[in-house]
Amino acid sequence: MTADSLVIPPETAQLLNTSTARLADRFAAYFSPETVRGVLEDSYLVLAATARVRTHLYVLAERFAAERLEATLSVSGARAKTRPEVLFVCVHNAGRSQMAAALLDHHAAGRVTVRSAGSAPVAEINPAVIEVLAERGLDIAKEFPKPLTDETVRASDVVVTMGCGDACPVYPGKRYLNWELADPAGQDAATVRTIRDELDGRVRALLDELLAL
């Protein structure tokens, strides 16, 4: 199933009206309500193409649309960038990229904008990933796999790829890193812990570099 083959049901469109109003108010200084609606509907459709649970999907679509609008502001220069932006990309956005994003967001404590995405996102985050991050006090149970979008790549100062090949577009002036790590998909918790700990070390080193600039 693809986003192009989906149609937003009338009852969901009504719910998206409320989401549109919230986002339009939040971004009133930068985007028209029509632009906001277009990003929101596109966000809903691309998530609907992969999400396993459709109930309350409009809530996730609003969060995803807000992230995309924030990234667009960064790309356009309409709002001054005050901190570095990092994007973690893996294939499914269900394991490595989610762990890396959670760890960097935790250690950065607001000093870095952190995003994650997948070149072929799946329906849900790997339960073992949620488990091993919870052991570190990091709750990502409400996160969800998101597709890679042009604006999030363009907004990023550093793009870290993990096993997604050539799916990520390359733009001049950005720093690209490729981290070779085992895929946690289908692995037991002990193996995923090892991946988590290796990611933690790499994330801490990256943060030190970013804050030293």
Residues 210 and 180 in one domain: yes
**Angle at Cα 169 formed by Cα 168 and Cα 173, nearest 5°?**
115
Both tokens of 196, joined, read: 């988590």
Q: Return all residues near 144 (Cβ < 8 A) that are at least 6 apart.
A: 47, 51, 60, 124, 125
Residues 86 and 139 in one domain: yes
Query: Residue 4 has what pLDDT?
Result: 63
Residues 98 and 177 in one domain: yes
Is 4 contained in some domain? no
Query: Tens digits of per-residue pLDDT, 23-52?
Result: 999 999 999 999 999 999 999 999 998 776
pTM: 0.93
Residues 148 and 60 in one domain: no
Is 3 contained in some domain? no
**How far apart are alpha carbons 188 and 129 in whole angstroms?**
10
Is 2 contained in some domain? no
**How far apart are alpha carbons 182 and 170 in whole angstroms?**
23
Asked if 145 contacts 49 with a C-beta cutoff of 8 angstroms, the reply is no
User: At 100, which CATH number?
Assistant: 3.40.50.2300
Strand 85-90 vs strand 113-118: parallel, antiparallel, or unpaired? parallel
**How far apart are alpha carbons 103 and 149 in whole angstroms?**
22
User: End of a domain among 51, 80, 109?
Assistant: 80
Is 74 contained in some domain? yes
Residues 43 and 91 in one domain: no
With bands split at pLDDT 50, 70 and 90, how would you rate the model's confidence at 7? confident
| Total structural domains within the chain | 2
